[in-house]
Amino acid sequence: MNKVPLIHLENLKKYFRVKESWGKIKYIHAVESVPLDIREGETLGLVGESGCGKTTLGRTVLRLYEPTGGKIFFKGEDITHADMLPFRRKMQIIFQDPSSSLNPRMTVGEIVGEPLDIHKLAVSREERKDRIRGLLERVGLNSEHANRYPHEFSGGQQQRIGIARALAVEPEFIVCDEPVSALDVSIQSQIVNMLEDMQAELGLTYLFIAHDISVVRHISRRIAVMYLGYLVELAESYELYKNPLHPYTKSLLQAVPVPDPDLTRSRKRTILEGEIPSPMESPPGCRFHTLCPAAKKQCAEAAPELREAAPGHEVACWGP
């Protein structure tokens, strides 16, 4: 097994500049000193509530957002400031909202064929047409759909078009940015199963971003938990569910609905009380300490770093 991870992040940071009244400038700390490895061929799930920085992290890894600090490595090569055009073939993204990520003025064939044109992957018009037809069939669409426009398709079909576009350049790594959150539950399972089949067939590596931890559990080998820009826990999927260490992870798992009324009533739930800190004016120490039921003095004074609490299980908490 290759010891060099496909993606390696060293203390990745992304801040957004916000200009307030009276000319005062502040920064939203969307991603704060994230260390992360994504192994070749795996699906790493990234979970957390809305606004915690998941999407920003995924887009910064692909350099759709330029990092404020830290480093990004692809197969051991530092791409933090590199020309990204050669790497666009190797790194792709599936967006959350398919309707807003597809150009309404382009046909499906033009949308899927555009990456082929940019990277000059088809030597003739006939080869281009064949590749577009093959990509559409791979994601469960008909070749006749190539002449239609995105608005003529359902949400699930639009997402399949987005997946076909991502696959067009034969990438090695795909950021799946909440690819099923805008879809019906029945369609969600179809898309997730298709992503798993494509991974097995093509050897793809995924960063699978979602706020629904039950979906992430199904598809991911490992899960990273994010809170207000920080990575607070990272473990194998089964280990995280069996033995969550961070109080925030525990609260996320307790919020997952269980299809058993008796079990639901008997479950012990932790009620989080307090104020969620602003990403512009974060309190000192652990960002979760204002809500944490187990917070102590140390939590308000210094931010804990991600450390290995057990083999393969990392947590950023003073408690465990």
205 three-state secondary structure: strand
Which CATH number is 232's domain given? 3.40.50.300
Tokens of 158: 């639009």
Residue with tokens 């018009």: 125
Domain that holds residue 219: 7-90+171-315
* Least confident among 17-31, 276-290, 297-311: 276-290
Tally of domains within the chain: 1
194 three-state secondary structure: helix
Task: Report pLDDT digits (tens) over 199-234.
Answer: 999 999 999 999 888 888 889 999 999 999 999 999
Would residue 212 count as lying in a domain?
yes
Would residue 239 count as lying in a domain?
yes
**pLDDT of the residue at 166:** 96
Would residue 164 count as lying in a domain?
no
Q: Mean pLDDT across the stretch 77-105?
A: 93
Q: What is the C-alpha to C-alpha distance for residues 170 and 19, in angstroms, rounded to an integer?
A: 41
Residue with tokens 């559409």: 136
Residue 175 burial by Cβ neighbours in a 10 Å radius (0-12, 13-18, 19+):
buried
**pLDDT of the residue at 159:** 94
Would residue 82 count as lying in a domain?
yes
Would residue 138 count as lying in a domain?
no
C-alpha separations of 31 from 68, 90, 146, 236 in Å: 9, 23, 39, 22
Q: Mean pLDDT across the stretch 69-78?
A: 96
Residues 229 and 57: beta-carbon distance below 8 Å: no
Would residue 123 count as lying in a domain?
no
Q: What is the C-alpha to C-alpha distance for residues 127 and 146, in angstroms, rounded to an integer?
A: 15
Q: How sure is the predictor about 37, in pLDDT bands with cuts at 50, 70 and 90?
A: very high
Is residue 185 over pLDDT 70?
A: yes
Q: How sure is the predictor about 1, in pLDDT bands with cuts at 50, 70 and 90?
A: very low
Would residue 101 count as lying in a domain?
no
Is residue 36 over pLDDT 60?
A: yes
pTM of the model as a whole: 0.91
